[in-house]
Amino acid sequence: MNNIIQTPGGKSVNFIPNQAYVVTPHDTNTFQYGLLYVGVGGDVKAMPQGLDTFVTFKNIAAGSVLPVYIKAVHTDTTATDMLILY
């Protein structure tokens, strides 16, 4: 897995997460941002860090990690078994 990601400030860093927690989709709650791991594929309606609106990432494959910091996942998400990595 390529661990090079962009920080919110635009700097490239080698990111190796050492903690994770289960994501419970919610329409308004946000959480400590991190990278989103998708266990079972589908669409992910999420709020990237730095935005105040949800966007939909279509057809995310099982076992994928979105290369964007995520701070919320909406209940309209069809993907499941998600974790935030940080």
Q: What is the pLDDT of residues 6-38, one digit of tens each?
A: 666 677 766 677 899 999 999 999 998 899 999
The predicted pLDDT at position 9 comes to: 67
User: Rounded distance, CA 86 to CA 34, Å?
Assistant: 5
The predicted pLDDT at position 81 comes to: 97
Regarding beta strands 64-73 and 34-40, do their DSSP bridges make them parallel or antiparallel, or are they unpaired?
A: antiparallel
Structural domain total, the chain:
1
R_g of the chain, CA atoms, integer Å: 12
The predicted pLDDT at position 6 comes to: 61
Per-residue pLDDT of 43-81, as tens digits, reads 999 999 999 999 999 999 999 999 889 999 999 999 999
User: Rounded distance, CA 42 to CA 80, Å?
Assistant: 8
Strand partners, 21: 84
Statement: the pTM of the whole predicted model exceeds 0.75 = yes
Closest CA to 2 of 15, 18, 12, 11: 15
4 confidence band (pLDDT: 50, 70, 90): low
User: Rounded distance, CA 61 to CA 41, Å?
Assistant: 5
Q: What's the domain range around 23?
A: 4-85
